[in-house]
Amino acid sequence: MFSAFTHPALILIAGALLLPFIRGPLRRPYLFLVPLLAMGAVVANSALPGQHGLVNFLDWQLVFGRVDRLSTIFALIMGLMAIIGTLYGLHVDNAKEHMAAWFYVAGSLGTIYSGDYLSLFLFWEMMAFASTFLIWFRRGERSLAAGYRYLLIHTIGGIILLAGIMLRYQAVGDITFSLMDVKQPELYTWLIMIGFGLNAAIVPLHSWLPDAYSEASFNGSVFMCAFTTKTAVYTLARGFAGFDILVLLGVIMALYGVIYAVMENDIRKLLAWSIVSQVGYMVAGVGIGTEMAINGASAHAVAHILYKGLLFMGTGSVLYMTGKTKFTELGGLYKKMPATMIFTIVGCLSISGAPLFAAFVSKGMIVGAGFEAHLNWAAWLLMLGATGTFMYNGLKLPYFLFFGENNCTNETWAKAADPPWNMQMAMTAGASLCIIVGSVPAALYSLLPYPVNYHPYGGYHIAETLQILGFAAIAFFMLKKYLVPEDKLCLDMDWLYRKAGSWFLWIAKNPIQWFDTAWGEAYRVVGLGSLMTTARFWSWFDWHGIDGVVDGLARCVRAIGGRVRTLQSGQIQFTIYFAATFAAVVLVAYVFLQLS
C-alpha cells in the first residue's frame, strides 16, 4: 500500500482536518481507519531505512523522515497506541477531542522521524499545544487551570529548547539532530537536555505531569500517558546516550515517584506518579548509555506504553462510569466492574514485572546494564524502586480500588458497571499485548536498536523476582494500615510556582493596587493642580504677553504700512516732497556731524 516513505503524521493531520465533515454512521469506521492507516505507514516505513522527506528551507536541509531502528521501534509503539486509544474513545461524540488526540500523536510521530532540530521543534510544539486540549476537554475550572499550567510549563520548556538549538547552531553551524558530545557538554547541551528533560518529567521539572494527567478527560489521559514522556525518552536516547547526569536524575525519578504514589489518594494521580517513576528507569538507561541500556530503555518504553495505557484505561473506566477517582470515594468494585478489574490487574502485574507480564522482560535489562557498567549504587536503588512499584501499583491500587473497604455512596455504587464495549475491546487489546510481550519477548527484542544478549527467563531472574514480589506482598499486608488512603493533597514542587502565582496576584491586588490608587490621588491633587495652575499662567502669558507683542507689532506694521501707502499714491508732488525732505534731513545731519 505504501511503496515510498509516507509520513504517518500527515495521515493523522489530514484525517483530523476531515473528521468534522464525516458524520453519522461513517464516523466510527473513519475513527478506526485513520490511526490504522497511520500504523500501516509506520510499518511500511520500517522497511525503508535511511533519510526521507528532505526539504530545503533557507540555508538548511530539513529531514522529516529519518528511519532507523531507534526511530522505528518508538514509531511502531506510538502508532499502536494511537489505534488502542482511539478505539477506547470511539464513542466520544466530540470530534474536537479526537482531532486534538490525532494532532498530538502526529506531533509525537513527527518528532520521532525528525532528523533536524527545526522540524523537531515544530512537531514538539504541536504535541504540547494539542495535548493541552485533552486536558481542557474534561471541562470544569480545575481542568481549565491545570491546562493553563501545563501549557505555561511546556511553553517555558519549548523556549529553553529553542534557546539551546539556536546556541548550538551558532556554535556548530548545522541543525542536524544527532548524538551530542556528552563528555564535554556546552551551555547549549544543557539547555537542549533541559528542554527534552522537562517533557520526560525529570525531577524537579516533573510537577506538570501528575497535575495535568489527573485532570485530563477519561480518554485524553490514555493518550497523554503514552506520548509526551516516551517521545522525550526517544529524544534523550537519540541525543544524550551516555550523559552521566541522567543516571542520577533517573534514579531520583524512580524513587521520588514511588514515594508520592504510595501517599496518593487519587487513582489517576497515582498512575501519573508511576509514570515519573517508570520513566526514571528509561532516563537512567539512557544515562548508562551502553547498548544493553539503550535496548532496555527502548524495550521498557514499549512495555510501559502498553501497561500504562491499560492502567489508565482501567481507571478511566472507573472515572467514566462512577465519576469518582479517589480511593476514599471508591472501593469494593470487583462486584460491579469485574472485567475492568481483570484488565487493571493485568496492568498491575505488568508494571510490577511479574513473570509472563510486560515489564519482566524490560526492566531487568536496565538494572542489569547498571550492574554491568559498575554503577551498582544506581542498580540497587532501581531495584528498591521496582519493589516500591509493586507495592503501590501491584498491591495498593487493585486492593483499595476493587477489594478494600467500600467507600462508595449509594449513587456511586448504582452507577458502577463495566464500561461500553469499545472501551472493553481496547482494554482487551492492551492486556493481550502486555501478556504477549511478557511471554514471548523475542518479537520485541527483534525490534530493539542493538542486538540483544539478554535472557529474562533464566532461573535466577525468575527466583529473584518471585521472592521480591512474594515478600513485598507480606510486608504490604502486615503494614497495610499505614497505607490506607487519606483524603489529602500531597504538596510537590508545583507548590513553588503555584504559590508564586498566588503571591504575585496578592501583590498585584494589594500593595501594587494600593500604590496605584495612592499615586493616582497624589497626581490628581498635586500633579494635576500644579499643571492646571501652570497652564493658566501660560494661557495668561500667551494672551497678554505673546499676543500683546505680536498684536503690537502687527499694529505698528499696519501703521507704517498706512504711511508707506501714501507714498505709493502716484501723486508726484508728495513723492518729491518726501524725497526732498529726506535728502534735506540727511544733508543737515551730515553737515552737523562734520562740524561737530
Partner 1 sequence: MNKLIDSLRERLPLVIKTCYGLLALVLAYSLTVDTSHAHTSVEKLPFFWSFFGFGAAAVIIGVARWFGHSGIMTRPDYYDRDAECTCTCSTTQKSSGEHA
Residues 115-174 that bind partner 1 (CB under 8 A): 138-143, 145
User: Which range binds partner 1 by CB under 8 A, 304-312, 347-355, 387-395, 538-546?
Assistant: 387-395
Q: How far is the CB of 386 from partner 1 (least distance, A)?
A: 9
Q: Binding string, 417-456, against partner 1, x = CB under 8 A?
A: ----------------------------------------
Q: How far is it, in rounded angstroms, from Cα 464 to Cα 486? A: 33
User: Which range binds partner 1 by CB under 8 A, 64-72, 151-159, 187-195, 495-503?
Assistant: 495-503
Residues 202-241 that bind partner 1 (CB under 8 A): 214-215, 217-219
Q: Identify which of 305, 343, 337, 307 has the alpha carbon closest to the alpha carbon of residue 319.
A: 337
Q: How far is the CB of 477 from partner 1 (least distance, A)?
A: 9
- Pick the closer one to partner 1 by CB: 335 or 536: 335
SS3 for 63-124, per residue? EEEEECHHHHHHHHHHHHHHHHHHHHCCCCCCHHHHHHHHHHHHHHHHHHHCCEHHHHHHHH
- Pick the closer one to partner 1 by CB: 41 or 375: 375
Q: Binding string, 72-91, against partner 1, x = CB under 8 A?
A: --------------------
Is 377 a binding residue for partner 1 by CB under 8 A? The answer is no
Q: How far is the CB of 231 from partner 1 (least distance, A)?
A: 25
Residues 237-276 that bind partner 1 (CB under 8 A): 258-259, 262-263, 266
**Interacting residue with partner 1 among 28, 91, 96, 498 (CB under 8 A):** 498
8 A C-beta contact, residue 118 and residue 60: yes
**The three cell numbers locating residue 470:** 512474594
- Pick the closer one to partner 1 by CB: 6 or 143: 143
**Interacting residue with partner 1 among 29, 49, 451, 458 (CB under 8 A):** 458
Q: How far is it, in rounded angstroms, from Cα 579 to Cα 572? A: 10
Alpha-carbon distance values, 260 to 276, 331, 388, 472 (Å): 10, 20, 11, 18
- Pick the closer one to partner 1 by CB: 503 or 578: 503
Is 488 a binding residue for partner 1 by CB under 8 A? The answer is yes
**Alpha helix (H) residue ranges in 173-244:** 187-199, 208-213, 220-239
Is 476 a binding residue for partner 1 by CB under 8 A? The answer is yes
The string of DSSP codes covering 109-124 is HHHHH--BHHHHHHHH
Other CB atoms within 10 A of residue 358 CB: 35
Exposed, middle or buried by CB within 10 Å (0-12, 13-18, 19+), for 517? Answer: exposed
Q: How far is it, in rounded angstroms, from Cα 436 to Cα 70? A: 21
Q: How far is it, in rounded angstroms, from Cα 410 to Cα 90? A: 29
**Interacting residue with partner 1 among 442, 460, 565, 594 (CB under 8 A):** 460
DSSP element (H, E) containing 233: helix 220-239
Q: Identify which of 252, 224, 265 has the alpha carbon closest to the alpha carbon of residue 136.
A: 224
Q: How far is it, in rounded angstroms, from Cα 559 to Cα 555? A: 6
**The three cell numbers locating residue 563:** 504711511
Q: How far is the CB of 426 from partner 1 (least distance, A)?
A: 15
**Alpha helix (H) residue ranges in 240-353:** 245-263, 267-288, 291-322, 338-352
C-alpha angle with apex 67: 66 to 71, nearest 5 degrees? 95
Q: How far is the CB of 270 from partner 1 (least distance, A)?
A: 12
Number of residues this chain uses to bind partner 1 (CB under 8 A) = 75
Q: How far is it, in rounded angstroms, from Cα 318 to Cα 417? A: 8
Is 20 a binding residue for partner 1 by CB under 8 A? The answer is no
- Pick the closer one to partner 1 by CB: 58 or 489: 489
**Interacting residue with partner 1 among 486, 516, 542, 551 (CB under 8 A):** 486
**Interacting residue with partner 1 among 174, 405, 487, 547 (CB under 8 A):** 487
- Pick the closer one to partner 1 by CB: 195 or 394: 394
Q: Identify which of 384, 354, 348 has the alpha carbon closest to the alpha carbon of residue 367.
A: 384
Is 506 a binding residue for partner 1 by CB under 8 A? The answer is yes
190: Cβ contacts below 8 Å, ≥ 6 apart: 164
User: Which range binds partner 1 by CB under 8 A, 104-112, 272-280, 325-333, 355-363?
Assistant: 325-333
Is 511 a binding residue for partner 1 by CB under 8 A? The answer is no
Q: How far is the CB of 143 from partner 1 (least distance, A)?
A: 7
Is 545 a binding residue for partner 1 by CB under 8 A? The answer is no
**Interacting residue with partner 1 among 57, 405, 421, 464 (CB under 8 A):** 464
DSSP element (H, E) containing 50: strand 50-57
User: Which range binds partner 1 by CB under 8 A, 25-33, 244-252, 273-281, 328-336?
Assistant: 328-336
DSSP element (H, E) containing 62: strand 60-67
Please give the span between the terminal C-alpha atoms of the chain, in angstroms, as a whole number: 124
User: Which range binds partner 1 by CB under 8 A, 37-45, 332-340, 347-355, 560-568?
Assistant: 332-340
- Pick the closer one to partner 1 by CB: 509 or 524: 509
